[in-house]
Structure 1
Amino acid sequence: MMRGYSLEKDLELLLNNPKYSDIEILCEDEKKLYGCRAILVARSEVFDRLFYNGMKESHEKQISFPKINSFAMEIILEYTYTGSIKEGSLTKNNIIETFYAAGYFQLPDL
């Protein structure tokens, strides 16, 4: 894939990619996902407060969300990075958890 033609496609390369991450996200089901602080804080006030509040999350490489499962967090990350979600990402099995997570991270358009 050639880079530089689509911001959305370029940011997808960073999505849940340990090579380019600076934060590990632990979910309710103990699955580990990867993120980039700069992208997360640019898109969510909640991430900004978590990462830049002077508390332990500001300095640690790992953050835990014990009430958000990895399916919902993957959708949150997809939306946060690209501004959209792929068709089929939301299913009847994960829509409630995703709705909860979107509210938690104050992403009303999701």
Structure 2
Amino acid sequence: MTRGYSLEQDLRFLINNPKYSDIEILCEDEKKLYGCRVILAARSEKSYETQIFFPKINSTEMEIVLEYIYTGSVKEESLTKDNIIETFY
């Protein structure tokens, strides 16, 4: 991926990227995801914490949510018939 090509592409690079993260997102399957507080602050009220726990959302679904938060869209290949209902419920 070439940086600087488009804002959406650059923001996708930051999704779940521990190198540039300053917040941990813990999911029901105990997998830890990473986020950028500044991006989450623009899109959510939960960004003031350094760790957020979502006990009813698994990490696969949370990655789809993060993709939408960061870019305003979700790649079609990210969605399956199994995860689409759980993700958007």
1:64: which partner in 2?
A: 53
Tell me the TM-score normalized by structure 2: 0.89
1:51: which partner in 2?
A: 47
Asked whether 1:42 is paired with 2:33, we answer no
Superposed CA deviations along residues 66-87 of structure 1, whole A, max 9, x for unmatched, are 0111111000001111111112
Distance 1:86 1:64, change over 3 A: same
Whole-Å separation in 2 of the counterparts to 1:3 and 1:95? 29
Whole-Å separation in 1 of the counterparts to 2:85 and 2:4? 35
Structure 1 runs (4+) deviating above 4 angstroms are none
1:13, distance to aligned residue in structure 2 (A): 1.4
| Unmatched segments (≥5 aa) in structure 2 | none
| Unmatched segments (≥5 aa) in structure 1 | 101-110
Which has the larger Rg? 1
Secondary structure of 2:9 counterpart: helix
Identity %: 79
CA RMSD of aligned residues (A): 1.4
1:20: which partner in 2?
A: 20
**Matched positions, count:** 89
1:95, distance to aligned residue in structure 2 (A): 1.2
1:76: which partner in 2?
A: 65
Whole-Å separation in 2 of the counterparts to 1:73 and 1:41? 17
Whole-Å separation in 2 of the counterparts to 1:94 and 1:68? 11
Tell me the TM-score normalized by structure 1: 0.73
Whole-Å separation in 2 of the counterparts to 1:43 and 1:69? 20
The aligned amino acid for 1:72 is E
